[in-house]
Structure formats: structure tokens, C-alpha cells
Chains A and B, each alone.
Chain A
Amino acid sequence: GNSVTQMEGPVTLSEEAFLTINCTYTATGYPSLFWYVQYPGEGLQLLLKATKADDKGSNKGFEATYRKETTSFHLEKGSVQVSDSAVYFCALRGGNTGKLIFGQGTTLQVKP
């Protein structure tokens, strides 16, 4: 079945550091891929998405490229801020069921 694997956290960075959170997936067909962010005490917010191979999703300085050859959708940001501290979830939707499947989440802590 479909699945998503994210790098283990927590990830701790200093402000203005470069961020990469790895995400790989297994899916049949041509899924859409998403990154969601969850700030403390809140629900999940869509951060960015990509619906086909080689698409690049971007928002608020974050980027991720849909790589079908490596089945990956890594999240990157060139310069993180303290306000980026949150839990980040990689997700896919597609295949035969249309289910939205999440990775386990990666906690990011950015220190001043």
C-alpha cells in the first residue's frame, strides 16, 4: 500500500540556517504530494503541494520538488526563523484509494 517515510526528528537549528527535511514515499499510480505544518496547539495547515513529477511547490520560503525517479519530496528552506518552529508532515494522496497518507512528522526547533 501507499506509505510515507520522513526523517526522524527533532531537528534543531540556529536562526538563518539551511533546512532540509527528507521525505520518501511508496505509491501506486501518480499521487499528489504535500507538506503540512502544525504549530503548537493548532491543527494542520497546508504548506505546499505538487501534483506531478518535477513540479516544485513553494510557499513562505519553503520549497519541495516532486522527484519520481527517487520517490522523494524533500522540504527545504534557505534561512529558517524562530517562527518556523513547528511539526512538519509529509503526505501523499492518490493511487487507488485517494486516501491522504501522512508521514510520522518531524519536529523542527529553531533557536535564536
Chain B
Amino acid sequence: ETGVTQTPRHLVMGMTNKKSLKCEQHLGHNAMYWYKQSAKKPLELMFVYNFKEQTENNSVPSRFSPECPNSSHLFLHLHTLQPEDSALYLCASSPHAGENTEAFFGQGTRLTVV
């Protein structure tokens, strides 16, 4: 248990569906992150939020829409995804985005797009 909780753990969705991934942390951290982990590819940083403000969008397609209503919660809204978007989506948090501290990860949401 790292203090970062992701729901759901597994999600199967069609290409025309709209769904959301949820992440919450109760570590008092101010930075939250979305990563994508695909088979045989390095971990890809998608988005960074620091004090609820988005500070990084790593050229992510607009069919992925993040939302950070407060420092404890982070969402990833999904719509009109493609099969190649199937992956493990990992949420992480850290005290601040600009510091050299470790990040704490959730267990991930395994997404399958059919």
C-alpha cells in the first residue's frame, strides 16, 4: 500500500465509449502524474499537475483529458480511444513537481480498448 489508490483496476471499453480513470492520494502531496505503460515500451509520462495546475502535457492526444479538482484527486477522462491505447495507466504523486524526491505509484488501471 503506497497511499495512492487507482480505480478501477481493470477497464474494458469500446472505441465509442466515454470512461474515466480515478486516482486519489492521502499523502499530502501537491504533485500528481499520469503515466502510460505499454508492452515492450518505456514508461511514458503523460501529464503533470502541481498544486492543481497542469504543468506538463507530453504531446498526449486530445482523446485523453486530465482533470485535477484538488491536490488529492486526479482523473483521466477517456473518449473515442483506439486499440493502441490499451495499456496500464499509472498514477503517481510526490510532494512537489520540481523537487528531486521519489514518486509514489498506484497499482494502475489495466485498460483494454476493443
Interface residues of A (CB under 8 A from B): 30-32, 34, 36, 42-46, 49, 51, 89, 93-94, 98-100, 102-105
Contact = CB atoms under 8 A, between A and B. Distances in A.
A43 B42 contact: no
A49 B102 contact: yes
B108 A93 contact: no
A33 to B, nearest CB: 9
A43 B4 CA distance: 10
B100 A51 contact: yes
Contacts of B60: none
B43 A43 contact: no
Interface in B60-97: 90, 92, 94, 97
Contacts of B94: 100
